[in-house]
Chains A and B, each alone.
Chain A
Amino acid sequence: MFKMSATLQRIQNSNVLYKLHFPIRECGLNLNRQFSFFTTFDRNSDFLDAKCHRVPSRSFYKHEIEVKKRIQWQRPVKVPCILPEKSGDLSGLPELDLNKPPPLFDQSSEYQSANKYVKAILSLKFQYPSFLRECKIKAVTDQVKRHNLDTNSVEVKIAKYTAIIRNMQVHYSKFPRDKKARADLKEIIEFRKKRMKLLRSLDYRRFEWLLEQLDLLYKPAPTSHERVERKKSMRWLAQEYIDNFKQQKLNEYREKLDSQKQGFLEKKLAVMLSIVEEEKSFNVEPSFTSGDIAQVEEELNKLKREEGKDRSASEVVKEVY
Chain B
Amino acid sequence: MAAKEVLSRSAAWLLGRCVPCEKTNASKFKVKRAVMDKFLNMYFTEYDYVYAHDPQKVCKTGDTVLLSKLPSKLTTLITHKVDKIVYPLGDVTDPVTGKKVTFNYYREDQDEEAELYGSLPTRFQYDKAPPRGVQEDKRDLTHRESYIKYNEDGKEQKYAV
Chain A residues close to B by CB (< 8 Å):
72-77, 90, 142-150, 154-155, 200-212, 215-223, 225-226, 228, 232-233, 236-237
Contact between A200 and B151, CB atoms less than 8 A apart: no
Query: Which of A72, A204, A222 touches B148 (beta carbons < 8 Å)?
Result: A222
Contact between B124 and A155, CB atoms less than 8 A apart: yes
Contact between A202 and B92, CB atoms less than 8 A apart: yes
Contact between B89 and A204, CB atoms less than 8 A apart: yes
Chain A residue nearest in CB terms to B128: A209
Which A residues are CB-close (under 8 A) to B40?
A: none
Q: Please classify the interface of chain B as helix (H, G, I), strand (E, B), loop, or mixed, using the class held by over half of its residues.
A: loop
Please, how many angstroms separate the alpha-carbon atoms of A144 and B124 in the complex?
Answer: 7
Which B residues are CB-close (under 8 A) to A148?
A: 117-118, 120
Q: What's the A-B contact tally at a CB cutoff of 8 Å?
A: 126
Answer yes or no: B93 CB below 8 A from chain A CBs: no
Query: Which of A147, A215, A226 touches B150 (beta carbons < 8 Å)?
Result: A226
Q: How many B residues have CB within 8 A of the partner chain? A: 40
Least Cβ–Cβ distance between A56 and chain B, in angstroms: 34
Contact between A203 and B120, CB atoms less than 8 A apart: no
Most buried by B among A75, A143, A144, A146: A146
Chain A residue nearest in CB terms to B123: A146
Contact between A217 and B152, CB atoms less than 8 A apart: no
Chain A residue nearest in CB terms to B121: A145
Please, how many angstroms separate the alpha-carbon atoms of A75 and B148 in the complex?
Answer: 12
Given the interface contacts A218-B142, A222-B147, does A147 sit within 8 Å of B120 by beta carbon?
A: yes
Please, how many angstroms separate the alpha-carbon atoms of A221 and B147 in the complex?
Answer: 8
Contact between B150 and A202, CB atoms less than 8 A apart: no
Contact between B147 and A145, CB atoms less than 8 A apart: no
**A147-B120, A203-B102 given; 14 more Cβ-contact pairs under 8 Å:** A76-B151, A90-B139, A142-B122, A146-B122, A202-B92, A202-B103, A204-B89, A205-B124, A205-B130, A206-B129, A207-B140, A222-B161, A228-B150, A233-B151
Please, how many angstroms separate the alpha-carbon atoms of A143 and B120 in the complex?
Answer: 10
Chain B residue nearest in CB terms to A220: B142
Contact between B126 and A147, CB atoms less than 8 A apart: no
Query: What 0/1 pattern do residues 131 to 156 of B give for CB contact below 8 A with A?
Result: 11011000111100111111111000
Which A residues are CB-close (under 8 A) to B145?
A: 220, 222-223
Which B residues are CB-close (under 8 A) to A201?
A: 62, 89-90
Contact between A217 and B62, CB atoms less than 8 A apart: no
Which A residues are CB-close (under 8 A) to B151?
A: 73-74, 76, 233, 237
Which A residues are CB-close (under 8 A) to B122?
A: 142-146
Contact between A205 and B117, CB atoms less than 8 A apart: no
Least Cβ–Cβ distance between A228 and chain B, in angstroms: 5
Please, how many angstroms separate the alpha-carbon atoms of A203 and B92 in the complex?
Answer: 8
Least Cβ–Cβ distance between B82 and chain A, in angstroms: 19
Answer yes or no: B35 CB below 8 A from chain A CBs: no
Chain B residue nearest in CB terms to A233: B150
Please, how many angstroms separate the alpha-carbon atoms of A147 and B117 in the complex?
Answer: 6
**30 A-B residue pairs with CB within 8 Å:** A72-B153, A143-B122, A144-B122, A144-B123, A144-B124, A146-B110, A146-B117, A146-B119, A146-B122, A146-B124, A150-B117, A155-B124, A200-B89, A200-B142, A201-B62, A201-B90, A203-B90, A205-B90, A205-B130, A205-B132, A206-B102, A206-B124, A206-B129, A207-B140, A208-B134, A208-B140, A212-B135, A220-B145, A220-B146, A222-B146
